[in-house]
Amino acid sequence: MGFEPTTPRLRVLCSTKLSYGPVLNLEGFEPSTPGLKVPCSTKLSYRSLLLLKSLLVEIYIIKLVYIIFMTQNIYKLTILRLDHRPYRDKRITTHCALVSRAFGADEFYFSGVEDAGIITVITKTNENWGGNYQIEYVSDPLLFVKEFKKRKGLVIHLTMYGLSVMDCIENIKIERKNKNLLIIVGGSKVPPEYYQLADYNIAIGNQPHSEVSALGLMLYLLDNGSLTKNFTNGKIKIIPDKQFKKIIRN
């Protein structure tokens, strides 16, 4: 006993042992008081280890999924070319499709005159150079844009009458992180409905020039890493070289 008499019904039990032995009583200057038991143990059971292992595996899987999906842009980049005219600008539409593919777009649609020749060119390009780039004709482009807007997609219309791309590009890059993106490339005369539906009417300069150059610059400003995109499953691959043409054919 200490200076004070012991208090009845008070007992503290604590153990730091990692075995199945009895719990160690902690008694100081005063004798233990019966009635109150506080067990403490740092013993790790086999079940606890299994739960810990399972938790670590789950964390690893979540991290892996994040690396695969969240660090990449999982939203589609779509190009719509308006009013294709084979007798006048067959090569322009084809080149818009080729530029879109090379700069990382996922799919290309064109309206106007239905032209199987363009689809054949792009299909053969995919077979030889790789990738899963899609091309399709659309008979009602205005309805196509409206449906795209209903699905909460971001719409950009390239026009020399729009705002400077350099004033808008950073906002566009932020918005497209969680939205599908549609870029409209005009034809002979663009109806006013497209200007009204577009979230951005963008000018790549306010001087007359090619739709192909405007599209290429827009895609580059959106993602300058697109120039180094890796196309899989291709039969042809170029090896960059300072002096010679180096081509690998599978």
Helices (H), the chain: 46-65, 86-102, 116-129, 141-150, 165-175, 192-197, 211-222
Distance CA 218, CA 168 (A): 11
Query: Which residues lie across from 68 on neighbouring strands?
Result: none
pTM for this model (two decimals): 0.71
Domain ranges across the chain: 1-43, 46-73, 77-228
CATH number of the domain located at residue range(s) 77-228 in this protein: 3.40.1280.10
> What is the spatial distance between Cα 39 and Cα 149, in angstroms, rounded to a whole number?
63
* Residue-level pLDDT, tens digit, the chain, 250 residues: 455 555 455 444 444 444 444 444 444 444 555 555 545 554 556 677 778 778 888 787 776 655 544 445 578 999 999 999 988 877 999 999 999 999 999 999 999 999 999 999 999 999 999 999 999 999 999 999 999 999 999 999 999 999 999 999 999 999 999 999 999 999 888 999 999 999 999 999 999 999 999 999 999 999 988 888 889 999 999 999 999 999 999 8
CA distance 205 to 7: 90
Residues with Cβ within 8 Å of residue 178, at least 6 apart in sequence: 75
Amino acid occupying residue 31? P
For residue 145, the model assigns a pLDDT of 98
Angle at 243 between CA 242 and CA 246, to 5 degrees: 90
Give the model's pLDDT for residue 17. 45
Helix/strand/coil for 101: helix
Predicted local distance difference test score (pLDDT) of residue 19 = 46
